[in-house]
Structure formats: C-alpha cells, structure tokens
C-alpha cells in the first residue's frame, strides 16, 4: 500500500526531476532576435550625451541602407522619443 515512506520517496523524486528540468532550461538560453529573419549586424545602436544638453541621444546605424538615425527624448511627453531626419552616410563620406 501507499505508505508515508513511499510518499517521501515520490516527492523527493519529483523534486529531483524538477531540478533537472530547471537546470536544462538554464543551459539552453533562448536567442533574442528583433527581426523575422535571423540576420545579425544590420543595426548598431549606441547612446551618447548631446553637446550642451542634459539628456542622451540614441543613435541607430542602419548598415544596409547606410543611414544614421538619432532619437532624443521629447519635452512634452517624457516617455516618447523624437526622431531627427536620418543622415545618408554614403553621401556624407562621398561614397556615392
């Protein structure tokens, strides 16, 4: 019959199985892809302090189209980013 000792053994076995499942999940971390196609290196982002300002600007480099985008925090809704017109880097560096 089902005794107290067999219940403890069953619970200990369940704990070991749950621990093994947890460890297996930590060794295979998921890959975070921001695009539908898994192409790495198409975009580069960096933040930098704007000259004479108290805020930082988010720069986004679009490598395939050779454009540099800049986003900065707006004044009215503080949680919205304002985009600046993108720079054409091929034109700026005379590579057209």
For the entire predicted model, the pTM comes to: 0.54
Hey, where are the domains in the chain? 1-30, 43-92
Residues 42, 60: Cα–Cα separation, whole Å:
10
Question: Does the structure show a pLDDT above 90 at 17?
Answer: yes
Residue 78's pLDDT is what?
A: 64
Among 54, 30, 57, residue whose Cα is nearest residue 46: 57
Q: What phi and psi, each to the nearest 5 degrees, are found at residue 93?
A: -100, 10
Sign of CA dihedral 69, 70, 73, 77: negative
pLDDT in tens, 20-55: 998 887 776 666 666 566 566 788 899 999 888 888
Return mean pLDDT, the chain. Answer: 84
Sign of CA dihedral 57, 58, 61, 67: negative
């Amino acid at each position: 019959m089902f005794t107290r000792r067999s219940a403890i053994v069953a619970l200990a076995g369940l704990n070991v199985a749950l621990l093994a499942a947890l460890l297996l999940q930590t060794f295979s971390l998921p890959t975070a892809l921001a695009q539908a196609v898994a192409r790495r290196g198409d975009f580069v982002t960096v933040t930098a302090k704007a000259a004479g300002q108290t805020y930082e600007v988010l720069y986004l480099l679009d490598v395939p189209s050779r454009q540099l985008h800049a986003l900065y925090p707006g004044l009215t809704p503080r949680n919205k980013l304002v985009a600046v017109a993108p720079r054409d880097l091929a034109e700026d560096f005379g590579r057209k």
